[in-house]
C-alpha cells in the first residue's frame, strides 16, 4: 500500500472514529424509564448469532421476493419514455433539435399508451433500487439511543439527533421511482414547443425540471420482523420434521433447538419495537403469544394454530410500518 493510500485510509478511519466517539459522548447521559426495562426483555438469547445466520438465506429470499414484485410492476412504456427524455437532453447538448424532437415524440407516444390503457393511473413506475441499514446493537442499547434521540429533539439539538438517527434502523428499503402522469406529459410537450421555437437551452431546462419531479416511493422491510418470521418458520419446520421421522444423532446435534429459535424470534420482535417499527399497540399480544408458543412447544403440545396466528400478526405489523 503506497503512502497516499495509507493517508487516505487513515483519514477515513479517523472520520469513523470521531463519529463513533461523538455518538458515544451524546449517549453519555442518564436514560429515561423506557430504557430501564426488565433484564429478561433486554438480554440477548442464547445462540443469537447461530440463529440469525441460520435464517439469513430465508430473510434474503423474502426481501428478494418483494423486490421482484416491485420490478414486475414496472411499465416498459414508462421506462422508455424516461430513457427518451434523457436522450433528448443529450441531443440538445449537441444542439441537435431535430433528434431531440424525435426522442420526445417517442416519449409522448409511450406515455399516451399508458394513459389510454389506464386513464386514472397517477404514477408510472420506472425503476426499483434497494438499500440496507442494519444497526449492530442490543435491545437495551437501542432503547438508550432512542431515548437520547428524543431528548436531543426536545432540547432543539436536531443536528446532534441526526447523527444518531443516521444508523438508527435495521431494515431494507425498496425505492421505486415513478413518472407523475398528471404533469410529466405536459412538461414534455412544452419542451417540444420550445425546441420548435429554436429555444434549445430553455427546452433542456424544462426537461431537467421534468426529471426533477419524478416521485420516489419507499417501502420499508424491518429486518427484525423478517428474522422473527424466519426463525418461527424454522422452529415449526423442525417440529414437523421431528414428528414425521426421528432424526439421527448427528443431525440432532447439528440442529438448533426449536425453543432457541422461538427465544430469538421473541428478541427480534423486542428489537423491532425498540426501533419503533409499526403500530406499537400490536406488540403486546404478539409478545404474549410468542411466550405461550414457547411453553406449548416445551410441553410438546399442539402449536400449529398458534404458529399461524403469530405469523399473521407479524404480517399485520409489517403492513403498519408503511401506512
pTM of the model: 0.81
Give the model's pLDDT for residue 11. 36
Query: Which residues touch 78 (CB under 8 Å, ≥6 apart)?
Result: 110, 111, 114, 124, 125, 126, 178, 179
Evaluate whether 293 touches 264 at the Cβ level (below 8 Å).
no
Evaluate whether 267 touches 170 at the Cβ level (below 8 Å).
no
DSSP string, 239-253: HHHHHHSPPPHHHHH
* DSSP tag of 97: H
Spans in the chain with pLDDT lower than 70: 1-42, 242-254
Q: Which of 225, 191, 197, 192 is nearest to 210 (CA)?
A: 191
Tens-place pLDDT, residues 276-289? 999 999 999 999 99
Q: What are the structural domain ranges in the chain?
A: 32-65+223-321, 70-221
Evaluate whether 290 touches 310 at the Cβ level (below 8 Å).
yes
* DSSP tag of 174: E
Task: Report CA dihedral (11, 13, 17, 19) to the nearest 10 degrees.
Answer: 70
Give the model's pLDDT for residue 69. 94
Residue 182 corresponds to which cell in the numbers above?
398528471
Give the model's pLDDT for residue 323. 85
Evaluate whether 241 touches 279 at the Cβ level (below 8 Å).
no
Give the model's pLDDT for residue 240. 86
Amino acid at each position: 500500500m503506497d503512502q497516499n493510500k495509507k493517508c487516505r485510509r487513515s483519514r477515513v478511519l479517523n472520520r469513523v472514529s470521531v463519529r463513533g466517539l461523538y455518538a458515544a459522548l451524546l449517549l453519555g447521559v442518564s436514560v429515561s424509564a423506557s430504557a430501564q426495562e426488565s433484564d429478561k426483555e433486554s438480554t440477548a438469547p442464547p445462540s443469537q448469532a447461530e440463529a440469525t445466520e441460520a435464517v439469513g438465506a430465508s430473510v434474503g429470499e423474502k426481501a428478494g421476493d418483494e423486490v421482484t414484485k416491485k420490478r414486475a410492476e414496472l411499465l416498459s412504456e414508462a421506462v422508455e419514455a424516461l430513457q427518451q427524455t434523457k436522450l433528448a437532453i443529450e441531443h440538445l447538448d449537441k444542439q441537435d433539435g431535430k433528434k431531440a424532437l424525435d426522442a420526445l415524440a417517442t416519449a409522448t407516444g409511450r406515455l399516451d399508451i399508458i394513459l389510454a390503457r389506464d386513464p386514472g393511473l397517477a404514477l408510472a413506475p420506472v425503476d426499483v433500487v434497494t438499500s440496507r441499514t442494519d444497526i449492530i446493537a442490543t435491545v437495551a442499547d437501542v432503547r438508550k439511543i432512542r431515548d437520547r434521540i428524543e431528548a436531543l429533539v426536545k432540547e432543539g439539538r436536531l443536528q446532534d439527533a441526526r447523527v444518531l438517527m443516521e444508523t438508527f434502523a435495521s431494515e431494507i428499503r425498496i425505492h421505486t421511482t415513478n413518472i407523475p402522469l398528471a404533469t410529466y406529459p405536459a412538461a414534455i410537450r412544452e419542451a417540444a414547443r420550445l425546441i420548435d421555437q429554436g429555444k434549445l437551452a430553455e427546452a433542456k431546462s424544462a426537461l431537467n425540471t421534468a426529471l426533477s419531479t419524478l416521485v420516489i416511493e419507499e417501502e420499508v422491510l424491518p429486518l427484525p420482523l423478517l428474522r422473527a418470521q424466519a426463525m418461527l418458520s424454522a422452529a415449526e419446520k423442525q417440529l414437523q420434521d421431528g414428528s414425521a421421522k426421528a432424526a439421527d444423532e448427528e443431525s440432532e446435534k447439528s440442529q438448533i433447538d426449536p425453543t432457541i429459535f422461538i427465544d430469538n424470534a421473541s428478541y427480534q420482535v423486542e428489537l423491532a419495537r425498540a426501533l419503533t417499527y409499526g403500530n406499537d399497540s400490536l406488540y403486546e399480544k404478539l409478545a404474549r403469544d410468542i411466550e405461550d408458543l414457547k411453553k406449548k412447544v416445551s410441553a410438546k403440545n399442539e402449536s400449529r394454530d398458534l404458529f399461524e396466528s403469530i405469523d399473521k400478526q407479524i404480517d399485520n405489523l409489517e403492513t403498519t410500518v408503511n401506512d
